[in-house]
Structure 1
């Protein structure tokens, strides 16, 4: 009997287990978004065009980073299952294969856009002033795609094996470094040159490489949790690579649809002028800081549900889904209120952007804050529950119907052909989120967890 009490006292409660994974992950992503926000504030002193240039360039590199980051999501799910089942050999083989794939793919997608940077921004919809200001920044940040891919893989692995604070520590170090480097190179501190917008690009590239180096030491170093292990036979390679791509390719498709949709909204904002685009970037960056306060629940979903599936425990997997979706409502309300309150900081942070830009940004912040719960729920179900249940098709359906079937056509109609303008595009994006919620909820109710456990 005493041993039973001791075991119960040392077993973490579900809420504590969720927090153990979700809090470090949320803090890590908040820090990453703060990094982008600091860059935006630094270049904001150069005016609205500089803000628009950084935001437009980021929306392009975001397509690459998030789409290719699907490999990291796929690895985290597979590693969580292998870790839950105690299959260390499969775990090491999976991570090794993923790193090799990232090196090959990331190298290509980093270099090719670099050569096309001179004409790419203008060709995809940027105004001449935005393209001129953002080309050097884009060229530098696109080179960061490879280290960003590797960081996503290693961070997902560390979280799935029970080391969720390690990626957060790496991010804390690099965020501080990025802020210092960006400010020093944008404005020119001491003997350093004043590089303007390009200075923020150099800061992003340097710190992305540094973060990858830190994570490599954490994962493979003396106290690391994984080992470099190539599969020995063709059958072992097939057993590792096939599941990796079965998850990664559909995830990549859905991330591509989502990020391209986000970029096309920026093209619509650009049609309304540089000021509208600048205001949209302020809203997006600030919203990101508060939305990712709940993003740890997404990682907790893939980790905890994946471990339960690996153990063959259907009831536990379903219970985690219910707990995590409920937790999302609470965090979304709290961070939604904080997001709405951020309008009070616009005059202080973006004084050089102009009154019109700040007014549009304030309206966009308040409208989006009202629907924070919807966006967080979509994040948990669409990026956590459905991928964990191998229903990536449901995510693709939601993203395609929401963005391309409803949101973007409505944005063009309301933004460019009615007096609503900027507000019309913001409202269209909110309608997109409501459509996605309906699709994701429908697909989640169709998941057969028993069949999934048998297949795993």
Structure 2
């Protein structure tokens, strides 16, 4: 084994497992809430699906802001701590500003927003109560997630694992007590799930930030250092970040419109769509770990002008993604009947549709894996965000969305056929993105002369 291969395996093992564990913890929040709320029937799941679209759009826009972490990775690879702090400060201020804007807008217009997805007025009113609580999570996470992404961008995941585990345990306990009214607490239903999420988010943020500053751990950036960036620096960073923000924003709005189409079919279809998204997060956990490792390892090679080695790493990660996706597809086909039985209180219509959709997911899982690796792991490491913005505009807005709306509004297809149209986004994205991946045009040094 040559030294490059040894280094690749060493760094990959160091980064992949902690990332997968962190994704497991993060997705468990969603799954636990879905399992507990699912006991209240299709309408409760539909409320989570509708309110989740708001959080999803904000999360995608913030993930674009967190694209600044590509600069943190490359500056860290050059041992340039001053610019690491400037990039961190810009990322933190941008995240808080966007989340505060979302907080104000959703607080003022939560009822009209939910009515877009849920036509039943009683169910929509129930959703308003849930959103009234969950909206405060936006502000908490706007700070917490910046510290988490900054640490992750330099390969420091252990603290986030510990914090995430504590937060999940607290969330599970509070879900149980507040949703069902156990241990002397009032029975709050889905609103209780909102309070549980808020409490666990506050605790997680307090532990993470307290540890960072109490132990002077890596990103313990002072207030003066947070505002230390200058306008030429901002323009250079935003030149690559703004296309990513537009990309994530357009993609998340597209996903909101997908939910709108499923909601038009009916409450059962929207509930099925929510279940499919929740479990797809679990199915994708493996590739999230490899995409994270690729972003860090390839980004560091690019910062050191090791373009050939960065491309070699990209080829290795792509082979891993392909083999992992095939194994996951087989696992989904085997486990799908058992996964459906986790939700005995849902209608037979939702259970049947959900099982059929998992078969569709198994068929296209290779595309999901490759897209996540290429776009999040490789293209983002090289700041190739303008290309990914155009890729999303074509595959989401010109291909998948028209087909989904035609199926839901014109042809009145069953939810399985509409979901098949939805999955064509990933198929077309992988087919087009393959040529960009092979061209190596994404492999750029972002911090040269900065």
TM range (shorter): over 0.9
Distance 2:229 2:272 in 1: 51
Aligned to 1:178, which of 160, 171, 174?
A: 171
Q: 1:253 aligns with which of 215, 239, 246?
A: 246
Following the alignment from structure 2 to structure 1, what is the Cα–Cα distance between the partners of residues 137 and 337?
A: 33
1:201 is the counterpart of 2:194: yes
Check the 8 A contact 1:217/1:224 in 2, yes or no: no
- The C-alpha deviation readout for 1:197-225, integer Å capped at 9, x for no partner, is 11111111122222222322343331501
Greater shift in the superposed pair: 348-357 or 98-107: 98-107
Q: Which secondary structure state, in structure 1, belongs to the residue aligned with residue 130 of structure 2?
A: helix
Match of 2:22 among 22, 28, 31: 28
Distance in structure 2 (CA, Å) of the matches to 1:232 and 1:201 = 35
1:173, distance to aligned residue in structure 2 (A): 1.4
Please give the alpha-carbon distance, in whole angstroms, between the structure 2 residues aligned to 1:232 and 1:198: 39
Paired residue secondary structure (2:230)? helix
What is aligned with 2:370? 377
2:84 is aligned with 1:85: no
Q: Please state how far the C-alpha of 1:428 moved relative to its aligned partner.
A: 0.6
Q: Which residue of structure 1 lines up, in the alignment, with residue 50 of structure 2?
A: 56
Q: CA deviation at 1:42?
A: 0.6
CA distance in 1: counterparts of 2:226 and 2:40, whole angstroms:
57
CA distance in 2, matches of 1:442, 1:29: 29
Stretches of structure 1 that go unaligned for 5 or more consecutive residues are: none
CA distance in 1, matches of 2:445, 2:297: 15
Deviates more, 1:372-381 or 1:441-450: 441-450
User: Hey, what's the Cα distance between the residues in 1 that align with 2:223 and 2:216?
Assistant: 20
1:79-136 CA distance string (max 9 Å, x none): 1111110111111222123223323332232233122223321145654344123112
Q: Give 3-state SS (helix, strand or coil) of 2:383's partner.
A: coil
* 1:93 and 1:230 in contact (8 A); partners too: no
Tell whether the 8 Å contact from 1:111 to 1:143 is kept in structure 2 after alignment. no
Residues 335 and 216 of structure 1: CA distance in aligned 2, closer, same or farther (over 3 Å): farther
Distance (whole Å) between structure 2 residues aligned to residue 121 and residue 259 of structure 1: 16
Secondary structure of residue in 2 paired with 1:371:
helix
Distance of 2:177 and 2:226 partners within structure 1 = 51
Query: Is 1:13–2:7 an aligned residue pair?
Result: yes
SS of equivalent to 1:388: coil
Q: Deviations over 1:123-152 (max 9, x none)?
A: 456543441231121222222112223233
1:398 match: 391
TM-score after normalising by structure 2 = 0.92
Aligned mates of 1:450, 1:339 — CA distance in 2: 34
Q: What residue is the counterpart of 2:283 in the other structure?
A: 290
Q: What is the distance in 2 between the residues matched to 1:449 and 1:433?
A: 20
1:204-215 to 2 correspondences below 5 Å: 204-215=197-208
- In the alignment, is the contact (CA less than 8 A) between 1:257 and 1:400 conserved in 2? yes
Cα distance in 2 for partners of 1:25, 1:262 equals 25
CA gap 1:409/1:190 in 2 versus in 1, 3 angstroms: same
The alpha-carbon distance between structure 1 residues 268 and 304, as it changes in their structure 2 partners (threshold 3 A), is same
**Partner Cα distance (2:114, 2:36) in 1:** 22
TM superposition shift of 1:236:
4.7
Q: Distance in 1 between matches of 2:226 and 2:154?
A: 25
CA gap 1:34/1:339 in 2 versus in 1, 3 angstroms: farther
Q: 1:339 to 1:247 in 2, by over 3 A?
A: farther
Question: Which one of 412, 416, 423 corresponds to residue 423 of structure 1?
Answer: 416
CA RMSD of aligned residues (A): 2.6
Moved more, 117-126 or 283-292: 117-126
Which residue in 2 is equivalent to 1:225?
Answer: 218
Which deviates more from structure 2 when the two are superposed, residues 372-381 or residues 391-400? Answer: 391-400
What is the match of residue 341 of structure 1?
Answer: 334
Which shows bigger deviation, 421-430 or 246-255? 246-255
Q: Is the 8 A contact 1:407 1:428 kept in 2?
A: yes
Unpaired runs of 5+ in structure 2? Answer: none
**1:277-336 Cα deviation digits (max 9, x unpaired):** 111111111111111221012211221111112212112211221122221112222333
Separation in 1 of the partners of 2:438 and 2:449? 19
Matched with 1:70 is 64
Contact 2:147 2:209 in 1 (8 A): yes
Q: Does the Cα contact within 8 Å between 1:30 and 1:293 map onto a contact in 2? A: no
> So what's the TM-score if we normalise by structure 1?
0.91
Shift of 1:248: 2.7
Mapped to 1, the partners of 2:62 and 2:438 lie a distance apart of: 28
Alpha-carbon contact 1:110-1:146 (below 8 Å) kept: yes
Cα distance, 1:201–1:397 mapped onto 2, change above 3 Å: same
**For the Cα contact (< 8 Å) 1:96–1:229, is it kept in 2?**
no
